[in-house]
Structure 1
């Protein structure tokens, strides 16, 4: 990380251990180096035990990573960076509209059968991620289910989570798979207007659909881990460093 990037991220981390001199051991490794190590793992898609020797021990980095997961650090970092990007683009940090979609992902051998299913349409055995994004494609809410769960069924949970996080959202765009009772339920229970953006049957081949392409771009970026959906081809660290 650059000094400017570290200046943004450091205040978002939990207070260092043993800062008062009582209880526990002081932190042995530089937090900036630990964060670089975590970014190295995520960006490279490698196993923890393959962490380069220039970083702290892999077991130490993993222990800190999991501790920060439990403390909600990554959620806080993500939300702050998303809000900074929105403000930088001249928008309010709180969105008023969202787009939802889902993606089935093949499960590895370590995924237990109790939490996986088969998506017959995509011929995928694993899990399905249901996401809501803002009009820039930045994540607002995520729900993970078995791949066999229908989109409209999981959308009840997704929209409920979206409403819990953002009271400012009043409009949600979705594809035809979300049509039906979800629309009435969202209107009367969550006070959300769900508009279905349908594909025109007269059009053959690929066509970019209004609004829907934004969430589809985010799902594509998710396969490349930390690539920013708002600026495809650039990592979050590059976006952060440019102030965008």
Structure 2
């Protein structure tokens, strides 16, 4: 088995989440195709450089693209994340540089969540993780977008919890009120220039490193650490697939 291939336990966990094969249609071996996709995500290699053991690169790319468009990869991640007890929700965002191949295209075209910030052309990955540092909600925006503006959308639809943790970039009264209305307590420090400072529990706030560690694991996937895909849906699909791999590896370590 190659280095980045799914183990037997990992395959047993993810196989039931794949779409059912239509009758009369022989689909290319799902496990080989998934291994091919994970190879590309992990190494950051161009699709054309996919090793021969994974079969034609066009098969892997077409499956990845088609299922990204259909929302399959995101649903697989959401199915795994649904098992989270979520006694705590930690929010943060992380910038990724956009490669020149991702940033091409005509001006005035569709919004592909690429913007210009201090680092040049960038995108921003937003995430909510639970008390184990496992992701439960993901989003993508242009790099210059405000962190706090995405927070209400990230929390929408998630279970109500007693503790929501974020850094000063999320200091927004609307967000504080939203967490309070949902029956929780926001552990979000106030900006240093505010006259009235809001106190937070230091022990709880220190656990914010869980979401930072999640982003560190996520960026081990080189195709996420640097954005190569032009379409926002394909980038979010890559983040969802990498997050699903983090989930199933957690399951594997506890079995």
* Same-fold call, TM cutoff 0.5: yes
Equivalent residue for 2:167, pick from 175, 196, 205: 175
Query: May I ask how many residue pairs the two structures share in their alignment?
Result: 211
Bigger relative contact order, structure 1 or 2 (CA pairs below 8 A, ≥6 apart): 2
CA deviation profile, 1:98-151 (whole Å, cap 9, x unmatched):
11111222222232576433334xx44312222111111111112222222222
SS at 1:125's partner residue? Answer: strand
Structure 1 gaps of 5+ residues are 85-92, 201-208, 228-233
Name the residue aligned to 1:96: 87
The CA distance in 2 between the partners of 1:189 and 1:236, in whole Å, is 30
What is the Cα deviation at residue 168 of structure 1?
3.3
Equivalent residue for 1:223, pick from 213, 219, 223: 219
The CA distance in 1 between the partners of 2:214 and 2:99, in whole Å, is 22
The 8 Å contact of residues 98 and 169 in structure 1, kept in 2 or not, is answered as: yes
Equivalent residue for 1:10, pick from 1, 6, 15: 15
Superposition map of 1:73-222 within 5 A? 73-82=72-81, 93-109=84-100, 110-111=102-103, 115-120=113-118, 123-155=119-151, 159-164=152-157, 166-187=158-179, 190-197=182-189, 210-222=206-218
The CA distance in 2 between the partners of 1:237 and 1:143, in whole Å, is 20
CA deviation profile, 1:35-84 (whole Å, cap 9, x unmatched):
22222222222111111111221111111222332343323333444466
Name the residue aligned to 2:26: 26
SS at 2:206's partner residue? Answer: coil
TM-score (structure 1 length as normaliser)? 0.72
Root mean square deviation, CA, Å: 3.2
The 8 Å contact of residues 14 and 248 in structure 2, kept in 1 or not, is answered as: no
